[in-house]
Amino acid sequence: MKISINFKVVWDSLSEKSFPLEKDLTVKSCIHSGNAGDIIYSLPTAKELGASHYIINLTSDPAFGGLGGRAITFPMARALAPLLLSQPYIKRVTIVSSNLPLEFLDQPIEGVDFILDRFRLHDPGKHHLAICHALAFGVHLNLYEKWLHVKSTKSDQKYIVLSLTTRYRSLPKEYWSEVLSGLENVVAIGLPQEFDSLAGITADFVTCHDLLEMATLIQGSLLFIGNPGLPYAIAEGLKVPRVVEVFPEYQNAYPIGRSGYTAPPSTLEARNLIDRLIADSPEEVLKHQNSALCQKIAGLEEVVKQKKLYVSTLEGELRERETQIGSLEARLRERELHLSTLEETIRSH
């Protein structure tokens, strides 16, 4: 039985003068109804399939999969379009609305060559999201190399990009505030409602106009720090130096390739890693490592100092107890002498 789905076209890059028109628009197309981060992770597969027309299907399913469900709104899709169109292999982006997920659809859609929603049929809770998309179509990907591109160079201004959301967290709230303490030029990106997750962290808060601007900001940074989410997906695609707080229950977004690290459980190790990644030269690396070593030695010295104080306290208590025992023994001897005198008196009577 065939099912008819009514796709309403909401926006098309062909109607925008700001995007160049291509002479030959007969291209392969793909459609995706996932979150924005899922769409970012689908790009290597879309490129491998030769899909040059990317269709975003607006969908809202709050109950899907827990932790906020699945949703792609028009403002988010519209903000995503410039980043998609900056990829050399994508010639057209169309935003449609059906409010229906498509992974279980077993029939073709007219005008669509690849239904990327089918990545959800390959256990996206256990496999990397980019790998799930590849498994759905049997393509081979090289995820060790950069697969997201923006036209930007390293900025003269040296800064760290930070993105922490309320979802997909595994470390205590105080972890990052301690790790980032004293670091300058930290730029926090995200939505205004996400900035509560950055309480206690000193940073410049930025809300980007669109995701191309966000990607450009990330591309120009010394280091990206964050947890699984849309900004981290962009950082992973750009392969900038990155440290990610991995969520243990859904290990489907983690670093692949060089310059990608998971956040270590120790705050001292994390700070040492960050200092090493943002260092400009081997001398700077040694300086930061020496600084971290000095901090560790200072910490150990403080522990030893506390231990000595504790031992000194115990020795004082021990001497006090010995004095009390000596006093009790003297009183006991006095009582024994008194009893002996009483016994002698009783015998004489």
Q: Is 226 exposed, middle or buried (0-12, 13-18, 19+ CB in 10 A)?
A: buried
pLDDT reading at 235 higher than 90: yes
> Which helix (H) or strand (E) segment is 59 a member of?
strand 51-61
More confident residue, 348 or 64: 348
Tell me what pLDDT residue 1 has. 43
Angstrom distance (rounded) from CA 70 to CA 204:
29
15 vs 78: CA distance, rounded Å: 13
Q: Cβ atoms within 10 A of the Cβ of 12, count?
A: 16
Helix 230-238 to helix 36-49 angle (10° resolution) is 30
Q: What pLDDT does 220 receive? A: 94
Reported pTM:
0.79
Comparing CA positions, the residue from 154, 151, 163 lying closest to residue 240 is: 154
pLDDT, position 341: 85
Vertex 223, ends 159 and 184: CA angle to 5°? 35
Mean pLDDT check: name the lowest of 4-8, 31-35, 39-43, 98-102.
4-8
Nearest to 202, CA basis, from 177, 172, 171: 177
pLDDT at 126: 82
For the four alpha carbons of 37, 41, 47 and 51, in that order, the dihedral sign comes to negative
287-304: average pLDDT: 69
pLDDT at 346: 86
Question: Would the pLDDT of 228 be above 50?
Answer: yes
For 236-272, what is each residue's pLDDT tens digit?
Answer: 999 999 999 998 887 889 999 989 999 999 999 999 9
DSSP class of residue 20? P
Q: Are strands 92-97 and 8-12 parallel, antiparallel or unpaired?
A: antiparallel
Q: Which residues contact 35 (CB under 8 A, 6 or more apart)?
A: 70, 71, 72, 230
pLDDT at 60 over 90: no
- Nearest CA among 309, 59, 167 for reference residue 317: 309
The neighbouring-strand residues paired with 242 are: 224, 260
Rounded-to-integer distance, Cα 139 and Cα 131, Å: 9
Per-residue pLDDT of 106-163, as tens digits, reads: 888 989 999 999 999 998 878 999 999 999 999 999 999 999 999 876 667 799 999 9
**What pLDDT does residue 92 have?**
97
Determine the residue type at 209: H
- Long-range (24+ apart) CB contacts under 8 A made by 288-294 are 292/268
Q: What is the pLDDT of residue 281?
A: 54
Average pLDDT on 224-233 reads: 96
pLDDT tens-digit series, residues 157-181: 799 999 998 888 889 989 999 999 9
Cα 314 from Cα 244, distance rounded (Å): 45
Cα–Cα distance measured from residue 22 to residue 172, given in angstroms and rounded to the nearest whole number: 50
Q: Residue 229 carries which side chain, given as an amino acid letter?
A: G
Q: Left (φ > 0), alpha (ψ -120 to 50) or beta: where does 204 sit?
A: beta
Q: Which residue has the higher pLDDT, 201 or 250?
A: 201
273/243 Cα distance (integer angstroms): 9
The residue with tokens 């010639």 is: 91
